[in-house]
Structure 1
């Protein structure tokens, strides 16, 4: 079975005890959180394997195809649209905003800084509460930024900014020549089969409610169109559609973004605030440490709605939780659903298989190498790459991708982005050059170009 093969039902189907535990978790969340309705779903191995719902109205529970507003889960969609432009060569993440959207007053901030919330921009718009007021109050980009748009030096700290994503939406529109919502629909939703994700609600959808903090009473919330702020939080979606998006965030999809770019989105691009070392932010993706797992995804809220989407790539499990109350049920529910499934039914490893073919030139690289007296092992991987790391204990370990010129590029860890070269002399492998470090087959191998040379007397005992 290849990675594109469908997952056998025997692997995908959850056990009855797991299903009951999931139902119990959302029932407690809906009851204790006092939310009118809650719908949740779990994705495992690229498909939705469970969904459940609770409602305050008997016989009228939502299902996985009922739309809820997802708030800031919209931001990863905007980030995907921007990274598609980058992968097509239409922009560079280091480019200043001014290059594509002139006249904002913050044109020196870069696309990457906007994606990672490190541009130093204010968290919210000036004036009336933008999520609960008419977009007509903010007809132009200057109305989103105000007289003091930048609160911190660009690139110095993570400071979440909703207007920053409105600026990214403007970049998308400028380069695509189309409305942000149309670009998201055409380039993301349609290829991923997300036909129940839209900028405006489509029946059936949940109504927006506030629950009185001191009484079991409801108040309808307005559902405003966000106008220019739409790229920060406009979308409506369903639990089923967000499971499809979660599968994309875990593995990529060449029709939208390849796996390497999606990994880049999930990589930390901004340090967390002091005292908050259980989370971080990538490129449009929130990162969190929960129950010993690394989760990637996003949370979202707008008046009347709270949403959470988390993916544990290591477990192959994702979860979505959507509710229609301004407060009461936090994104922790989605993280708990992942924990329930991953702990009760840990992923079954794929069968080991040998390489389809072996390149003798690569095979001779496998095995131990030494930087000075520190030993590292080089292992060839089934995807045509290699892993290089210490033979024992902790240390600098990285995965490498082969390049056409015979060199290798580090993908993660200490050597991410660094180049490893195989140096040959007289047709034989002499040593590895990795970021100026010389790795030899023996510790301080005589005749090797070890900086500073190797003592001609060789190894010796104590006189």
Structure 2
């Protein structure tokens, strides 16, 4: 499988081996994906007396949430659910009815982190109606939208929403709409051989305790699924942009946008719609981590260049959060990606005439052409209201990002109109309809 150089492969395996040995992990697998395919796979430890392979199942815990979130977003794209809809509109009768679907997806709905039952990860699950009977107003910890407060319970409610809309169990909806189209045939709700057994490792001795495994029923959307490294690698490629027809690429990009921050002023991690986002060494990684008794797993990818990594382990605790960042860092150091070759391309002369210097009031901006008739508006003097624009059928341009995201740029005879702001070739040009009048410059 290795599509990396021998030196790189050795360095990656060395980092994985150190993690398995130093952190006393019964078995540990990892994969690098690049350019839409696995580029390296490594494994240490044993499962059933042999080294685990890329077809060995591990429990993926909360990565399940991201797969359910894709189904929710498909419902949104179909017009069946709105992100600003309240929970009451689709799952009436809960104490959290004013929370929106977007807030539940991004863990900002204010719900308690865990259901008010026995420790749900270690016990057999309840049916939804039985879970609902346990809930009360005191299970709301914060007003909806106030802050990020991770909630497994919130995803149980989203699972119920999917069942109400699809008229089928949430697992079946995920299987039909996500797993099967992506070829993830070894991702299942319960373990299917070959699979690892989940263990806790004693903190003061080299002995193991087998952890329990159950059908969590109503809480299943929070962490039920098992998968293999090969399947999770396909999931990483999906998150990087190869949606396989499962989701509109624009919707996936929307899911990857950070909506809430997990670590205060550091701003190094947070959540989008069903996805965790992380900033590290200039990369913006998206994915999700997962933990259940006896298992840890995490998958991240940088959509900008399609480089990602994942690990899967059968231990309740111990794998360092830096493992994936270290693996990606090794790849970046030993096999840095070459910049794409530049080559000239034909342009529309009318668009070429728009390029160059423009002024928003006294502030100079440059306008340059992008591929596929796109435009880039950038301040000359450092940071400011920079945005990219994509052409529309009506002759306007729509803001893609930055200050003007979602706003409209119109090209006039002698000026640009960006959502009522007038940009002119000269500062406050008297030939353009600048609101308030151009006046005269004075010395």
TM-score normalised according to structure 1 size: 0.91
- Aligned counterpart, 2:45: 55
Structure-to-structure mapping, 1:133-282, within 5 angstroms = 133-136=123-126, 140-143=130-133, 145-253=135-243, 255-282=245-272
Q: Is structure 2 residue 401 aligned with structure 1 residue 412?
A: yes
Residue 316 of structure 2, aligned match among 326, 330, 342? 326
Identify if the C-alpha distance between structure 1 residues 450 and 290 changes in structure 2 by more than 3 Å, giving closer, same or farther. same
Specify every segment of 5 or more residues in structure 1 that has no aligned partner in the other structure, as ranges. 1-8, 424-428
Tell me by how many angstroms 1:90 deviates: 1.4
> Partners in 2 of 1:145 and 1:337 — Cα distance?
42
> Partners in 2 of 1:75 and 1:340 — Cα distance?
29
Tell me by how many angstroms 1:56 deviates: 4.8
> Partners in 1 of 2:287 and 2:160 — Cα distance?
23
Tell me by how many angstroms 1:18 deviates: 0.8
Identify if the C-alpha distance between structure 1 residues 337 and 127 changes in structure 2 by more than 3 Å, giving closer, same or farther. same
> Partners in 1 of 2:134 and 2:251 — Cα distance?
30
Q: Is structure 2 residue 36 aligned with structure 1 residue 46?
A: yes
Identify if the C-alpha distance between structure 1 residues 331 and 238 changes in structure 2 by more than 3 Å, giving closer, same or farther. farther
Tell me by how many angstroms 1:73 deviates: 0.9
Q: Tell me the matched-pair count.
A: 443
> Partners in 2 of 1:65 and 1:143 — Cα distance?
40
- Aligned counterpart, 2:424: 440
- Aligned counterpart, 1:370: 359
Q: Is the 8 A contact 1:39 1:321 kept in 2?
A: yes
**1:104-149 deviations in Å (ceiling 9; x for gaps):** 1211111100111111000111121100011138653415644522
Q: Is the 8 A contact 1:252 1:258 kept in 2?
A: no
Identify if the C-alpha distance between structure 1 residues 140 and 382 changes in structure 2 by more than 3 Å, giving closer, same or farther. farther
Tell me by how many angstroms 1:178 deviates: 1.2
Q: Is structure 2 residue 107 aligned with structure 1 residue 123?
A: no
Specify every segment of 5 or more residues in structure 2 that has no aligned partner in the other structure, as ranges. none
Q: Is structure 2 residue 343 aligned with structure 1 residue 359?
A: no
**1:212-239 deviations in Å (ceiling 9; x for gaps):** 0111110000011111111111111111
Residue 395 of structure 1, aligned match among 363, 368, 384? 384
> Partners in 1 of 2:126 and 2:249 — Cα distance?
39
Q: Is structure 2 residue 440 aligned with structure 1 residue 451?
A: no
**1:424-453 deviations in Å (ceiling 9; x for gaps):** xxxxx2211113211112221122111221
Bigger Cα displacement from structure 2, 119-128 vs 402-411: 402-411
**1:140-159 deviations in Å (ceiling 9; x for gaps):** 34156445221101111111
Tell me by how many angstroms 1:385 deviates: 2.3
- Aligned counterpart, 1:5: none
Q: Is the 8 A contact 2:107 2:150 kept in 1?
A: yes
SS in structure 1 opposite 2:95? coil
Identify if the C-alpha distance between structure 1 residues 61 and 281 changes in structure 2 by more than 3 Å, giving closer, same or farther. same
Identify if the C-alpha distance between structure 1 residues 65 and 274 changes in structure 2 by more than 3 Å, giving closer, same or farther. same
> Partners in 2 of 1:58 and 1:314 — Cα distance?
39
> Partners in 1 of 2:88 and 2:357 — Cα distance?
50
Bigger Cα displacement from structure 2, 46-55 vs 270-279: 270-279
**1:142-191 deviations in Å (ceiling 9; x for gaps):** 15644522110111111111111111111111111111111111111111
SS in structure 2 opposite 1:25? helix
Q: Is structure 2 residue 415 aligned with structure 1 residue 431?
A: yes
Compute the RMSD of aligned alpha carbons: 2.0
SS in structure 2 opposite 1:27? helix
> Partners in 1 of 2:189 and 2:134 — Cα distance?
20
Identify if the C-alpha distance between structure 1 residues 434 and 222 changes in structure 2 by more than 3 Å, giving closer, same or farther. same
Tell me by how many angstroms 1:276 deviates: 4.5
